[in-house]
A and B are shown apart, each in its own frame.
Chain A
Amino acid sequence: MAIIALLAVTIIPTWKQLAANLVALLIFATFTGVFKEVVKRLWPCASLLAAMLIIHSLFNPANRHYWWVFGLEGTLYALRLALRLLCILIILHYLISTTPPFEFVKLFNKIHPDLGMIVSMFLAIMPALQKQFITTLEIQEVRGLIKTNSLPARLRAYLAVLVPIVIHSINHAYSLAQLLYLRGYSWRHIGLAREPAKRSEKVAIGLSAVYLLANVLVAYRWY
């Protein structure tokens, strides 16, 4: 359903319509109770959006009409992009904040069981590797190798931490491969049986289809 919604957003041509979409999406997020979560996740993008507006309004080569130093064409261009980006990000963040990771694993599994295996192994490796990162960082700190006063020193510190971690993790990968072999890994994988679509999923797909349709109609009138 997210894909349908994304498609809808990418075809919208005017910033007015995008703004309307943005408001609609935000209202939708508020009603489903993830408004705060989505806004919190979007916050890091704020500087990027600001940079987009500033750069294009000041420097866009298409600028012909100026209001003081701000070029109208560039501002409009940036506004349209920024709103589109916001919509896309809201949809995706909405998806992420409402879906637990193992649902994504299932999705990858449906595409190809090997992909599912890679993704779940990655999820299993990550915490262990983070622990390894902290261990090595502490050891090298005790050895006095973590210095950040000059660029070469930082590069050395980087190597001192990264090399043991990489060697450890490649070794780890070979052990994992042994384990995979011993567990008889072949093509089958957990949860391969396709579950019938739930009612809530059908409703969701229906809603997003309506959303797409509405946007297509409005866009068509503009053309």
Chain B
Amino acid sequence: MNKPVKLAIISTGIAINIIGSMVSSTVKLPIFLDSIGTMLAAVLLGPWPGALTGLLGNIIQGVLTDPASIPFGVVNAVIGLVVGYLSLKRGFEDYVTPLLAGLILAILCPVVGTPIAVYLFGGVTGGGVDILYAIFLKKEMGIFTSAFLARIPANLVDKLLSAYMVMLVIRKFPPAMKMKRASV
């Protein structure tokens, strides 16, 4: 494994995470799409460097601007692991793998994220998902279950879209770059 390439791509992945959500808010998309860099790094480098990208990204962002995002680094790390593992097994250029990744992550991310959110925020996000959360709560479903269920739809859309974005980007990679990918 080529260490300079690895380090450079991890830093770049962290930066792309931030730029991805910047672009998303510039063109007024209703979703965050803030894990594209993590997924890219995972596809290019494999699961563990991918997980490191996710974790470190949230820590750095937390340290620089928004500390509340630090604990959710664990969620981002899971994204890196799942995507990295899937792309090792199947590549990431067909239509099925991103679907798989999106579905798995739509369940797995809330599994990891909800306990953190419940402990820190009482399961509230301060966004549109809260309405759903309130409805589930009203049906006496318990805090954790409600927060978990409320998170799934938004996550499904976000993770599926992110995964397909990454697939498209990977496909649009110059063929020469794909070669490099194979050799790393």
Contacts and interface: CB of A to CB of B under 8 A. Distances in A.
A130 B19 contact: yes
A26 interface: no
Interface in A101-127: 101, 104, 114-115, 117-119, 121-122, 125-126
Main secondary structure of the interface of A (DSSP, over half): helix
Nearest to A153: B27
Nearest to B170: A166
A51 interface: yes
B63 A169 contact: no
Contacts of A129: 15-16, 19
Contacts, number: 166
Given A59-B138, A146-B27, A52 B124 contact: yes
Contacts of A158: 23-24, 27, 29, 33, 165
B14 A61 contact: no
Interface string B99-127: 00000000000000000000011101110
A interface residue count range (under 10 / 10 to 19 / 20 to 34 / 35 or more):
35 or more
Given A104-B63, A115-B56, A130-B19, A161 B26 contact: yes
A96 B172 contact: no
Interface in A145-174: 146, 148, 154-155, 157-159, 161-163, 165-167, 169-174
Nearest to A165: B19
Contacts of B134: 55, 58-59
Interface string B27-51: 1110001001000100010000000
A48 B124 contact: yes
Interface of A: 45, 47-48, 51-52, 55-56, 58-61, 77-78, 81-82, 85, 88-89, 92-93, 96, 101, 104, 114-115, 117-119, 121-122, 125-126, 129-130, 133, 137, 146, 148, 154-155, 157-159, 161-163, 165-167, 169-174, 176-178, 180-181, 185
